[in-house]
Amino acid sequence: MESALWSGAWREQAVARLGQEWDIVIIGGGITGAGILLEASRRGLKALLVEQRDFAWGTSSRSSKLVHGGLRYVREGKLLLTRDSVQERQNLMREAAGLVDAQSFAFADYRGRKPGRWLFSLGLVIYDLMAGQRARHYYPADEFLMLAPHIGRNGLNGGLCYADAKTDDARLVLRVLQEAQSAGGVAINYMAARRLLRKDGKVGGVELDDAVGGDLHRISAKVVISATGAWADGLRGQQGAAPKLRPLRGSHLVLPAWRLPVAQAISLMHPSDGRPVFVFPWEGATLVGTTDVDHAADLRQEASITAEEVDYLMAALAYQFPQAQLTPDDILATYAGVRPVIDTGQSDPSKEGRDHAVWLEHGLLTVTGGKLTTFRLIALDALKHVAPLLPHWRDKLQRMPIFGPAPALPADVALTTQQRQRLQGRYGRHACALLAAAQPGELETIAGSETLWVELRWAARSEAVLHLEDLLLRRTRLGLLLRGGGAAILPRLRAICQPELGWSDARWESEQAAYLRLWQQHYSLPPDVQSKR
């Protein structure tokens, strides 16, 4: 599939190729699977990726949106992990500006609060040395309040500022997948791996269930890689392997930017347990996160925030921003993701390690855990482990640029510098074609977001949208940014996207009803919080 886009009859063409012999079949369409597909395809391997739901449906669209080196790893003495994360952060900011962008963080220093100025400063010294920069500064109270005017003032000594980065995690997955397809890889969503197939006692393929066509496909592959994150024990269980994962839920709140305006990201330690909580500007709104609790619910269902988690995050906001007097009525949306964490038996979930793990069991390679920031290093590690199973293939697995350069956009298009960079970062080589697709008025920004109307048209036309939730929760993030999941814009959205998708009126009505029901159940406030409003 030469095209880097999912356009026209892309799915039929991809399904027609399933019967060929594959070097690698990757199960899981999150950032880890996307990274493996890219690194395998560009190194000459015939690679297929399948995802049982939508691309980035799981953890990779529900993260805290941070591309960071991990200050917590400095405190834990994991300096090599911190170094790798910081270097990868710098690479992504350079190669995908507009998709991965710098974000300044402010940490207030209060009398009697941990970790205190000097301990925190020591960690930042190491952080900056690894990045080859000096991005930390300490400000006295009066100057710090100019940077973070809404924080509490009682006992404020001053504050530290340091640099990290943020992204749109689902769009990062999409761009990596598109780069992989341009290198010859194949990626298909709504194609579930139901059963591992064995040959000579080892995994030699997989049986796929096509949620669109309804057909079963038996796929032969030299190597099968499970990059299914928190869901990895499911396939491992088919091998008789004991569970190793401890699913942990991280939940978030999205607030209107006007209700809690922050130019800096604010980092604080929660008053009840000392866990870090972040508040930062994201896509035209303000994002608050995160919790870290055991997730006992069925992994086949969407994760949702609980009333206890809402209370926990609201308590952090009241502690850090007492003058704002925020209430649950201010919340636009919520979302929750399940982290794939290796279970070591810690009583405190936050003390479980976040390193990635690779297990080769009877021909099935499982790769799970790790950080969004280091997806490229995780992919290279996975390929290193499967190299002995591919005797015809040799590669030094050296790091290459992740993204190709994005072309300059037409100078006569009325866009701000920030909008130009944003489109180039998100759409890469396809940004010019996206602009060419715009109809009158579609280069305007959708109120309450940084999204242009034409991005909806482009996603519907060229980005494998099979359900309305794909469009509003992952190709764009309007379902998180607009009140009611964007219900107010659905008439105009329909006028733009229904012809591009080729859906009948009945199909559109069905999709819209399903999306609004899904949003109410999993992206709104929990019912017991709503009943108190």
Tens-place pLDDT, residues 147-192 = 888 888 999 998 888 888 999 999 999 999 999 999 999 999 999 9
Residue (of 280, 281, 268, 284) closest to 318 by Cα position: 268
**Is the Cβ–Cβ distance between 493 and 523 less than 8 Å?**
no
* pLDDT above 90 coverage of the chain, percent: 72
Task: Quote the pLDDT of residue 54.
Answer: 98
Q: What's residue 161's pLDDT? A: 85
Residues 251 and 264: their CA atoms lie apart, in Å, by: 21
- Phi/psi for 505 (5° steps) reads -60, -40
Least confident of 23-32, 139-148, 313-322: 139-148
Q: Are 249 and 293 in contact (CB under 8 A)?
A: yes
Stretch 197-205: mean pLDDT: 91
Summarised one tens digit per residue, pLDDT across range 44-92 is 999 999 999 999 999 999 999 999 766 666 566 666 777 888 889 999 9
Determine the average pLDDT of the residues in 228-240: 91
**Which of 14-28, 132-146, 505-519 comes out lowest in average pLDDT?**
132-146
Q: How confident is the model at residue 504 (pLDDT cuts 50, 70, 90)?
A: very high
pLDDT averaged over every residue in the chain: 91
Residue indicated by tokens 């030469």:
2
To the question of pTM greater than 0.85 for the whole model, the response is yes
Helix then strand then coil, % of the chain, to nearest 5: 40, 25, 35
The span from the CA of 191 to the CA of 350, in Å, is: 33
Confidence of residue 310 (pLDDT cuts 50, 70, 90): very high
Rounded to an integer, the average pLDDT of 126-131 is 63
Compute the average pLDDT of residues 497-520: 98
Phi, psi of 172 (to 5 degrees): -60, -45
Sign of CA dihedral 267, 270, 276, 281: negative
Contact indicator for 442, 454 with CB cutoff of 8 Å: yes
Residue length, the chain? 533
pLDDT of residue 151: 87
Classify 156 as helix, strand or coil. strand
In contact, 188 and 51? CB cutoff 8 Å:
yes
Per-residue pLDDT reduced to its tens digit, 332-346: 999 999 998 887 767
Lowest-pLDDT range of 3-17, 194-208, 380-394, 415-429: 3-17
User: How far lies 251's CA from each of 20, 244, 294, in Å?
Assistant: 41, 23, 11
Residue 1's pLDDT band, with cuts at 50, 70 and 90, is very low
Q: Is 23 helix (H, G, I), strand (E, B) or coil?
A: strand
